[in-house]
């Protein structure tokens, strides 16, 4: 039986009140499994990013539950929620959001530093993760000296450096050309995904659909369905 990494139950998010009330996400329930790469796909405005924000603990739903390891994320205090994100969730943002004035190693070390790890130790661990993403020789460079694909890999290293159970990626290929985008997702699948980790990717880039284990389709804030893919070994 597969381990459930995340369970969303009856998630609703609306903006505005009265006649102006608009549902961004409407009554969405689903399960994401450990060891699975789940895509949330759909047209712009379908509620993908809003859903991703709710399940990763950065946007509070109006109703519904997000259960990770049996805990409802949104019953935690704001400080506990911040700790939860720091320890359990890794983020890769669409625009990477790397600090241009820090070196790549320092960028990767940020979650460890936020976890109060000693600076030197954090940098050493960050270098190991840069090695994992194939950028060991770029540890001392600022992100602006790297290509888009390399910057994406630095962002991935930062996201996994604290060994999260859940990795969320928002449009990871949007800033990359097709070939680089495919390579990045292939890299994530082969090197980042493991049996205890669930990766959720928001995308509308159908060139990378072939790497998905499950594809969740959304439209107008509603979940149309989840299709689980069986890959040939």
Partner 1 sequence: MFGIFKLALKLLTNDKGKFSALLMGVTFAVFLMIMMMSMFSGILSRASSSIDNVGAQIWVLDPAVNNVSSSIPMPDYVLDFAKSIKGVKHAEPIYFGGALVKLRDGTYQGVTVIGLDDATLYGRPNLIGGRIEDIFAENGFIVVKDAEFDKLENPVIGSEFEINDHRGKIVGIAKVSQSGLFGVPTLYTTYKRAITYIPSSRFTMSFVLIESKSPEDVPYIQDQIQHLGYQALTRDQFTNKIANFYKFHTGLGINVLIMTIISFIVGLSISGQTFYTFILENLEKFGALKAIGAKGRELVAMILVQTTFTCLIGYGLGVGLATSVMILARLRMPDYAAQVTYSNLSLAFVLVVIIAAFSSYVGVRKVLQIQPFDIFRG
Binding interface with partner 1 (CB under 8 A) = 49, 52-53, 56, 58-59, 78-79, 82-87, 89, 91, 93-95, 97, 99, 101-102, 106, 110-111, 113-114, 116-119, 122, 158, 170
Phi, psi (rounded to 5 degrees) for 102: -105, 160
Q: Quote the least distance from Cβ 232 to partner 1, whole Å.
A: 34
Helices (H), the chain: 48-55, 78-88, 104-114, 119-132, 148-160, 178-187
CA distances for 194 relative to 36, 132, 154, 230, angstroms? 8, 14, 19, 17
Q: Which is nearer to partner 1, 19 or 77 (CB)?
A: 77
Q: Which is nearer to partner 1, 46 or 49 (CB)?
A: 49
CA distances for 128 relative to 108, 137, 199, angstroms? 10, 11, 21
149's tokens:
């694909």
Q: Quote the least distance from Cβ 233 to partner 1, whole Å.
A: 34
Number of H helices, E strands in the chain: 6, 10
Q: Quote the least distance from Cβ 1 to partner 1, whole Å.
A: 31
Q: Which is nearer to partner 1, 183 or 220 (CB)?
A: 220
Q: Which is nearer to partner 1, 78 or 137 (CB)?
A: 78
Q: Quote the least distance from Cβ 148 to partner 1, whole Å.
A: 16
How far apart are alpha carbons 24 and 91 in whole angstroms? 21
Q: Quote the least distance from Cβ 170 to partner 1, whole Å.
A: 6
How far apart are alpha carbons 182 and 180 in whole angstroms? 5
Q: Quote the least distance from Cβ 41 to partner 1, whole Å.
A: 16
SS3 221: coil
Rounded to 5°, the CA angle 26-32-37 comes to: 115
Q: Which is nearer to partner 1, 33 or 98 (CB)?
A: 98
Q: Which is nearer to partner 1, 121 or 227 (CB)?
A: 121
């Amino acid at each position: 039986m597969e381990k459930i990494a995340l369970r969303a139950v009856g998630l609703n998010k609306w903006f505005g009140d009265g006649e102006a009330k608009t549902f961004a996400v409407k009554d969405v329930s689903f399960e994401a499994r450990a060891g699975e790469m789940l895509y949330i796909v759909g047209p712009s405005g379908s509620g993908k990013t809003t859903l991703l924000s709710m399940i990763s603990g950065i946007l509070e739903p109006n109703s519904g539950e997000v259960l990770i390891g049996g805990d409802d994320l949104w019953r935690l205090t704001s400080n506990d929620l911040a700790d939860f994100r720091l320890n359990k969730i890794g983020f890769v943002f669409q625009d990477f959001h790397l600090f241009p004035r820090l070196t790549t190693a320092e960028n990767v070390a940020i979650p460890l530093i936020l976890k109060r790890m000693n600076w030197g130790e954090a940098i050493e661990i960050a270098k190991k993760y840069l090695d994992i993403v194939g950028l060991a020789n770029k540890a001392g460079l600022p992100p602006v000296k790297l290509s888009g694909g390399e910057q994406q890999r630095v962002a991935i290293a930062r996201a996994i450096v604290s060994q999260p159970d859940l990795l969320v990626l928002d449009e990871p290929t949007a800033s990359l050309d097709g070939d680089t985008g495919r390579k990045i997702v292939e890299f994530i699948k082969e090197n980042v995904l493991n049996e205890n980790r669930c990766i959720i990717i928001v995308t509308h880039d159908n060139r990378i659909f072939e790497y998905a284990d499950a594809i969740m389709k959304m439209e107008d804030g509603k979940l149309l369905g989840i299709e689980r893919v069986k890959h040939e070994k």
